[in-house]
Amino acid sequence: MAKAPAPIAPGVDLELVWESTPLTRRDLNIPDGANTNKTGSINLDKGLLPEDVDHRHYFRDDVFTALAWSARTAAVDEAYAKFQLVLKGISYGEFDLAIRHTTSTTSRTYLQHNAMFRLSWGATAAYVAHDDLIGRTLALYRDNADPTKFVLEID
Predicted TM-score (pTM) of the model is 0.89
* pLDDT averaged over every residue in the chain: 91
Task: Give the single-character DSSP code of 93.
Answer: E
Whose CA is closest to 100, among 123, 134, 75, 131?
A: 75
| Residue 70 confidence (pLDDT) | 97
CA 113-14-149 angle, to 5 degrees, is 75
Residue-wise pLDDT tens digits, 50-108:
999 999 999 999 999 999 999 999 999 999 999 999 999 999 999 999 999 999 888 99
Beta strands (DSSP E) in the chain are 14-19, 41-44, 70-71, 76-87, 90-102, 117-120, 138-143, 149-154
* Domains in the chain, CATH or no CATH each: 14-30+39-154 (2.40.330)
| Residue 3 confidence (pLDDT) | 46
**pLDDT greater than 60 at residue 29:** yes
| Residue 102 confidence (pLDDT) | 93
Q: Return d(Cα 70, Cα 74) in angstroms, integer.
A: 10
| Residue 11 confidence (pLDDT) | 61
Q: Return d(Cα 97, Cα 127) in angstroms, integer.
A: 14
On the CB side of 97, CA atoms within 13 Å amount to: 24
Whose CA is closest to 151, among 130, 141, 61, 32?
A: 141
